[in-house]
């Protein structure tokens, strides 16, 4: 194998291909400027790509967390859609959320979407009813999210 290796000194880049060194020493200033602009634009663009979008209002973000942990398993991670057992509930008014979550009931005169009685009450969520309602209202307004 060694017999086939070139014996004359270290490997050199072929003349026709400009090396990084050539580029940085720069004969073509316009090319260099364009390249720097391009690098700059890419660096500006990267953080924008990694962000999921504008932050949710704090109450909506809190409600979302509670919903994902306590409700999404039966309803749906997207509350505008029916879930495995529960119906779509985006836009549910506070009185309905409170009656369901705290008392396993419905507000007077409300016509339930389902005639089943599968949902259990989750009374420890009493301090979070407002956050849940805010989250459900937010998704009603922006169903695509």
Which spans of this chain sit near ligand HEC (rule: CB under 6 A)? 70-71, 73-75, 85-87, 89, 92, 96-97, 100-101, 112-114, 116-120, 122, 125, 132
In terms of Cα–Cα distance, which of 23, 7, 143 is closest to 79? 143
- Identify which of residues 25 and 113 has a Cβ nearer to ligand HEC in the complex: 113
Q: Which two tokens stand for residue 131?
A: 């956050």
Residue 108 Cβ, how far from ligand HEC at the closest point, in Å? Answer: 14
- Identify which of residues 56 and 74 has a Cβ nearer to ligand HEC in the complex: 74
Helices within the chain (DSSP H only): 20-25, 29-50, 58-70, 94-103, 129-141
Residue 104 Cβ, how far from ligand HEC at the closest point, in Å? Answer: 7
Q: HSE-up of 10 (CA within 13 Å, CB side)?
A: 2
- Identify which of residues 7 and 115 has a Cβ nearer to ligand HEC in the complex: 115
Query: How remote is the C-alpha of 11 from its chain's centroid?
Result: 49
4: DSSP letter: G
Residue 81 Cβ, how far from ligand HEC at the closest point, in Å? Answer: 13
């Amino acid at each position: 194998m060694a017999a086939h290796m070139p014996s004359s000194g270290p490997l050199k880049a072929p003349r026709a291909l400009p090396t990084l060194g050539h580029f940085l020493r720069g004969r073509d200033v316009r090319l260099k400027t364009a390249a720097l602009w391009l690098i700059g634009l890419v660096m500006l663009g990267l953080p924008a790509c990694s962000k999921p979008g504008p932050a949710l209002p704090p109450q909506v973000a809190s409600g979302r967390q509670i919903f994902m942990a306590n409700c999404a398993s039966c309803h749906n991670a997207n509350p505008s859609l029916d879930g495995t057992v529960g119906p779509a509930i985006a836009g549910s008014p506070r009185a309905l959320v409170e009656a369901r979550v705290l008392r396993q009931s419905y507000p007077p005169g409300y016509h339930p979407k389902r005639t089943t009685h599968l949902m259990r009450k989750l009374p420890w969520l009493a301090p979070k009813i407002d956050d849940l309602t805010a989250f459900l209202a937010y998704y009603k307004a922006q169903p695509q999210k």
